[in-house]
Amino acid sequence: MARVALVTGGTRGIGAAISKALKAAGYKVAASYAGNDAAAEKFKAESGIPVYKWDVASFDACAAGVKQVEADLGPVDVLVNNAGITKDTAFHKMTLEQWTAVINTNLGSLFNMTRPVIEGMRARKFGRVISISSINGQKGQFGQVNYSAAKAGDIGFTKALALENAKGGITVNVICPGYINTEMVQAVPKDVLEKNVIPQIPVNRLGEPEEIARAVVFLAADDAGFITGSTLTINGGQYHA
């Protein structure tokens, strides 16, 4: 029987690539999203993957969302915590709203999403929790104190939860992408990308969403059971933790 995978932020960018790659690998996939209905419907029509709308910053919304996915597809075996936002500004100008929104969505969501599935995984003696952090959670980034703090927290969450569940057939890992060719990065002015960003990447290009998705499929596999608590850095050689 096909395993069930749930991908948050799974209808655009890296998340969409992850959802499609897991489906291609034989998983029953559900993709959640926060607000872009048009993009979600387009993704659903193109991929045939069911989509679900809720705010990952809300524990109650996540619990209800997981319940619906499990009613439709079956118990969640693979959870990919991919949803994230940015609200960049220098810290001395940062508002409380800019801080809490990013912390709640990019870090709080790991609790909100993983808590409703972890007991079932423990009972079934199988689970894969894969979170998408960032190069900036490893090295920091100007104007991203909120984002860097949250993404660094994702790494600590992973290490601790991996220890708690290692004996129960559940692995917990985190991927730190570098600069990936998504809408978020494409929003950066082209001259800034070409002069300031790409020269910092030794392979001399942006990564592709599919390159992150392949790593998720690898970590999600039944035979990846000896890999847990790991941080997988995929950044073209830009930074070595």
Structural element, H or E, at residue 135: helix 135-139
Q: Which of 52, 147, 179, 239 is catalytic?
A: 147
CA-angle at 125, arms to 227 and 132, nearest 5°: 45
Rounded CA gap, 3 and 77, in Å? Answer: 6
147 catalytic residue (yes or no): yes
Helix axes 13-24, 209-220, angle to 10 degrees: 50
CA torsion sign for 14, 58, 71, 46 is negative
DSSP secondary structure of 60-87? HHHHHHHHHHHHHH-SEEEEEE------
* Position 133, amino acid: S
Q: Are 212 and 134 in contact (CB under 8 A)?
A: no
Beta bridge partners of 204: none
Rounded CA gap, 114 and 70, in Å? Answer: 14
Which active-site residues does the annotation give?
147
